[in-house]
Amino acid sequence: MSIVAGGYWAFFSPYAQGFGLFPYRGVTDEKVVALTFDDGPNEPFTSQIAEVLRSRGITATFFQVGACVERYPAVTARLVRDGHEIGSHTYSHRFSDCLRWSRQRADLERGRRVLAAVLGAPPTLFRPPWLFRHPPMLRFLRSQGMEPVSGHFAHALEVFQPTAERMARRAIAKTAPGAILIFHDGLEARTGERHRTVEAVALVADALLAQGYRFVTVSPLLGIAGARAQEPAVG
Ligand SMILES: [Zn+2]
């Protein structure tokens, strides 16, 4: 393996564990799956996904960007009231903030503070943008009682919004007991068109329900003890 490929693998791969635990699935033989949504809240798509989930009695995990939470705090609060789990996904989701750890850490802490104000307690779960992580970040998360979470990208080209059927087929094929599937209800810290993701989530949910899957949020799937109860402080 070249140094470039090796570096990519260690810093960005959803599956590499070289720097410490970065779980991409729960270890179980049971038919359970965790749907996760990054980069929101982004309206109207986040609320549309929430409606797809609510109508099927499903809970999921949302890794949210602080700047977007400031735009839609009531959407985040409502997700929690509906039984979903909220994790942090930084404040700005800017790649430039990843280049210096001091800036990245400040951005991470700011995102966590914004969520804590809305949730009534800081979130335990953290997913780094682009899954980019390194040893100082993982050490810092551990020192703060935070848990980094990876997963399987539901569809590699979701950002280009292929048809819902294509995204759903890929996501369903990747699902195995304990899987953590990554969708995007937003686009970094910007707005983004996501109606095909909304449709894909409905297709995936129906197919997996028909296969006998149960839907869980990430903390119970990974057996994360002491996940703080989230009580929305605004709404
Ligand atoms: Zn992201």
pLDDT at res. 97 = 76
Ligand 1 centre and the CA of 188: distance in Å? 5
How far is Cα 220 from Cα 214, in angstroms, rounded to an integer?
Answer: 12
The CB density around residue 74, as the number of other CB atoms within 10 Å, is 13
How far does residue 39's CA lie from ligand 1's centre (Å)?
A: 5
Tell me which DSSP letter residue 120 carries. S
Which residues are within 5 Å of ligand 1 (an ion), measured at CB? 38-39, 129
The CA 146 to ligand 1 mean position distance, Å, reads 18
Cα separation, 18 vs 11, in Å, equals 9
Residue 96 Cα, ligand 1 centroid: separation in angstroms?
Answer: 14
pTM for this entry: 0.93
Q: At what angle do helices 45-55 and 73-81 cross, to 10 degrees?
A: 10
Supply the pLDDT for residue 217: 97
Query: What was the pLDDT predicted at 1?
Result: 46
What's the pLDDT at 201?
Answer: 98
CA of 153 to the centre of ligand 1 (A): 11
- Residue 2, burial from CB neighbour count under 10 angstroms (0-12, 13-18, 19+): exposed
| Distance in angstroms (rounded) separating the CA atoms of residues 163 and 194 | 11
Assign domain 28-222 one CATH number from 3.20.20.370, 3.40.50.970, 3.90.180.10, 3.30.1600.10: 3.20.20.370
- Give me the torsion for CA of 120, 125, 130, 135, rounded to 10°: 120
Find residue 170's DSSP bridge partners.
none
Which pLDDT score is estimated for 20? Answer: 73
- 50 CA → ligand 1 middle, Å: 18
Q: What is the pLDDT along the chain (235 residues), one digit of tens a residue?
A: 455 566 777 888 888 887 778 999 999 999 999 999 999 999 999 999 999 999 999 999 999 999 999 999 999 999 999 999 999 999 999 988 778 999 999 999 999 999 999 999 999 999 999 999 999 999 999 999 999 999 999 999 999 999 999 999 999 999 999 999 999 999 998 989 999 999 999 999 999 999 999 999 999 999 986 455 566 655 4
Domains of the chain, residue spans: 28-222
CA of 82 from ligand 1 middle (Å) equals: 23
Q: What is the pLDDT of residue 71?
A: 97
pLDDT for residue 168: 98
User: For position 194, what pLDDT does the model report?
Assistant: 96
Contacts of 234 (CB under 8 A, 6+ apart): 73, 74, 77, 117, 118
Instruction: Say how many Å lie between the CA of residue 20 and the centre of ligand 1.
Output: 21
